[in-house]
């Protein structure tokens, strides 16, 4: 399984760059180029009893201006794995590293946990369960927010025996555990996160796994449980961690019949799924598909190797659009050897009236016609992912912004001590 370089990938670089700042990478002076629309995908099929079907997306979450989380630029280290809960609270890991790039074996990193309580005016440091590590080891820990005051910290080790720590009181206390999957669950509870694991034989990592399964990280105890009913999407289904604003959950993978890219949606917390094929420009499977639900359309960015052109780390093959909640799809953008955007970091950002933005490796790109054509945007590159409060945009070195409508962004900063302030 291929891993893409996103915001978390910058964390590894932090351990090698301690006293120097970093800046966002600027884009080239390419002029905007028109995209080539493609065909439409076929209707979806329902899996599971009492199939939920599909309908036009009508987000039930908060639309309009997103809330503005508090800024705390003076906290130590560099932030990563920042997550937010629906009540406005949040968690983040901070890596405070000391050492020299030329001699990383002599340095070390302290791993802090920063917490934003609901309604608080600043982030605070709480007791971290993570140990101090050598600078040469790199920072690999991960954090999952599982609802208000609840989070799971993972030490980054491979395999089911890797250590975890769960809190239900805002980081004031932690209970140790591991990444083993225990039992099954018939549905996805509120606050849960979706991920994957590798079924027995034990010891196989997800990257080396012949067949992965979708699992639910529980907000009750931080344990992993296999989802009882999953869509048929090939050997390596990839779920979105968070639900979309309309409450839908999405999983991407491969259509077993055609071998091409496909997605599945559940509107009943994972009890049943509806699968639809994408009108992919490629005949073979890609890596995965990144789905984002907007106010009037759903966008699906198909990721995978490109044919021709300069090699890139996060290649986007095509951008698809659905106006009926994912039942049928139209390919709006087909990536060529030179046409931009050719890459995507995280999720597309849908807005009203056919607006959609793509955060590429070198620059952002915006469209006002549903993704048929794009123009280059100012502001450099950024990584975008879903949170219960909206889409979260991460820029180097400590800049964040949140949007609920794809138009207005609420900016905040965290732990800028080691970089630009």
* pLDDT value at 120 more than 60: yes
Q: What tens digit of pLDDT does each residue of 185-213 get?
A: 999 999 999 999 998 765 556 667 899 99
Q: How far is CA 178 from CA 181, 216, 339, 406, in A?
A: 9, 14, 45, 37
In whole angstroms, what is the distance from residue 257 CA to residue 272 CA? 20
In whole angstroms, what is the distance from residue 64 CA to residue 51 CA? 31
Residue 2: the pLDDT is 42
Q: Given pLDDT bands bounded at 50, 70 and 90, which one contains residue 104?
A: confident
Q: Given pLDDT bands bounded at 50, 70 and 90, which one contains residue 419?
A: low
Residue 28: the pLDDT is 36
Residue count of the chain, please give it: 421
Q: Given pLDDT bands bounded at 50, 70 and 90, which one contains residue 51?
A: very low
* pLDDT value at 69 more than 50: yes
Residue 45: the pLDDT is 58
Q: Which residues contact 29 (CB under 8 A, 6 or more apart)?
A: none
Residue 71: the pLDDT is 98
Helix (H) or strand (E) holding 9: helix 9-14
* pLDDT value at 353 more than 70: yes
How much is the average pLDDT of 36-40?
46
Q: Strand, coil or helix: what is 11?
A: helix
Q: What is the DSSP code (8-state) at residue 19?
A: S
Residue 7: the pLDDT is 38
Q: Which residues contact 119 (CB under 8 A, 6 or more apart)?
A: 88
Residue 42: the pLDDT is 53
Q: Given pLDDT bands bounded at 50, 70 and 90, which one contains residue 380?
A: confident
Residue 86: the pLDDT is 96
Residue 204: the pLDDT is 56
Residue 64: the pLDDT is 64
* pLDDT value at 330 more than 90: yes
- Residue 169: count of CB within 10 angstroms of its CB: 10
Residue 373: the pLDDT is 98
How would DSSP label each residue in 266-310? ESSTTSSEEEEE---S-SS--SEEEEEE-SS-EEEEEE-PPSSSS
Burial class (CB in 10 A: 0-12, 13-18, 19+), 115: buried
Contact (Cβ atoms closer than 8 angstroms) between residue 236 and residue 249: no
Q: Given pLDDT bands bounded at 50, 70 and 90, which one contains residue 158?
A: confident
Contact (Cβ atoms closer than 8 angstroms) between residue 166 and residue 147: no
Report percent pLDDT > 90 for the chain. Answer: 72
* pLDDT value at 243 more than 60: yes
Q: Strand, coil or helix: what is 207?
A: helix
> Which stretch of 141-155, 189-203, 248-262, 396-410 has the lowest confidence by average pLDDT?
189-203
* pLDDT value at 382 more than 70: yes
Mean pLDDT estimate for the chain: 86
In whole angstroms, what is the distance from residue 225 CA to residue 182 CA? 5
Closest to 395 (Cα-Cα) out of 377, 375, 373: 377
Helix (H) or strand (E) holding 395: strand 390-395
Q: Given pLDDT bands bounded at 50, 70 and 90, which one contains residue 132?
A: very high
Report, in angstroms and rounded to the nearest whole number, the Rg of the chain calculated over CA atoms: 21
How much is the average pLDDT of 165-182?
97
Contact (Cβ atoms closer than 8 angstroms) between residue 166 and residue 152: yes
Residue 336: the pLDDT is 93
Residue 300: the pLDDT is 99
Beta strands in 10-87 (DSSP E): 45-47, 78-84
Q: What tens digit of pLDDT does each residue of 267-325 get?
A: 999 999 999 999 999 988 899 999 999 999 999 999 999 988 999 999 999 999 999 99
Residue 291: the pLDDT is 99
Residue 396: the pLDDT is 79
Structure tokens belonging to residue 175: 């209970």
For the entire predicted model, the pTM comes to 0.84
In whole angstroms, what is the distance from residue 187 CA to residue 89 CA? 25
- Residue 46: count of CB within 10 angstroms of its CB: 16
Higher pLDDT, 121 or 419: 121
Q: What is the DSSP code (8-state) at residue 327?
A: S
How much is the average pLDDT of 113-124?
98
Provide the terminal-to-terminal Cα distance of the chain, rounded to the nearest Å. Answer: 37
Q: Given pLDDT bands bounded at 50, 70 and 90, which one contains residue 222?
A: very high
Residue 41: the pLDDT is 57
Q: What is the DSSP code (8-state) at residue 293?
A: E
* pLDDT value at 130 more than 90: yes
In whole angstroms, what is the distance from residue 98 CA to residue 100 CA? 7
In whole angstroms, what is the distance from residue 336 CA to residue 351 CA? 25
The reply to whether omega before 312 is within 30° of 0 (cis) is no
Closest to 123 (Cα-Cα) out of 363, 416, 369, 366: 416
Residue 106: the pLDDT is 81
Residue 102: the pLDDT is 73
Residue 263: the pLDDT is 99
How much is the average pLDDT of 45-51?
50
* pLDDT value at 96 more than 50: yes
């Amino acid at each position: 399984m291929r891993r893409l370089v996103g915001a978390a990938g910058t964390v590894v670089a932090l351990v090698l760059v301690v006293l120097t700042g970093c800046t966002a990478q600027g884009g080239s002076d390419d002029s905007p180029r028109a995209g080539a629309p493609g065909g439409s995908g076929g209707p979806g099929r329902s899996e599971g009893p009492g199939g939920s079907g599909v309908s036009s997306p009508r987000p039930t979450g908060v639309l309009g201006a997103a809330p503005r989380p508090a800024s705390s630029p003076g906290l130590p280290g560099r932030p990563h794995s920042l997550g937010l809960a629906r009540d406005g609270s949040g968690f983040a890991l901070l890596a405070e590293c000391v050492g020299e790039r030329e001699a990383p074996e002599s340095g070390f990193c302290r791993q802090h946990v920063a917490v934003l309580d609901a309604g608080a005016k600043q982030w605070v440091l709480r007791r971290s369960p993570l140990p101090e590590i050598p600078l040469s080891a790199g920072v690999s820990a991960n954090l999952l927010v599982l609802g208000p005051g609840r989070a799971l910290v993972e030490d980054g080790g491979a395999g089911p025996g890797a250590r975890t720590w769960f809190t239900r009181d805002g980081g004031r206390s932690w209970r140790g555990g591991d990444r083993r999957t225990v039992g099954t669950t018939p549905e996805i509870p509120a606050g849960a996160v979706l991920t994957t694991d590798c079924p027995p034989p034990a010891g196989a990592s997800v990257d080396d796994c012949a067949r992965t399964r979708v699992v639910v990280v529980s907000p009750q105890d931080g344990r992993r449980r296999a989802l009882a009913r999953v869509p048929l999407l090939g050997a390596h289904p990839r779920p979105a961690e968070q639900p979309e604003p309309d409450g839908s959950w999405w999983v991407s993978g491969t259509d077993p019949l055609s071998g091409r890219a496909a997605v599945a949606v559940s509107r009943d917390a994972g009890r049943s799924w509806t699968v639809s094929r994408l009108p992919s420009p490629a005949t073979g499977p890609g890596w995965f598909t990144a789905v984002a639900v907007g106010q009037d359309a759903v966008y699906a960015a198909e990721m995978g190797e490109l044919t021709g052109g300069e090699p890139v780390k996060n290649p986007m093959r095509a951008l698809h659009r659905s106006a009926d909640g994912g039942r049928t799809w139209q390919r709006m953008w087909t990536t060529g050897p030179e046409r931009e955007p050719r890459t995507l970091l995280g999720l597309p950002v849908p807005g009203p009236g056919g607006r959609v933005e793509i955060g590429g490796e070198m620059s952002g790109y915006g469209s006002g016609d549903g993704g048929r054509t794009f123009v280059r945007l100012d502001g450099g590159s950024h990584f975008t992912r879903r949170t219960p409060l909206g889409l979260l945009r991460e820029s180097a070195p400590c800049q964040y912004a949140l949007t609920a409508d794809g138009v207005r962004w609420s900016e905040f900063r965290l732990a800028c001590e080691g970089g630009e302030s």
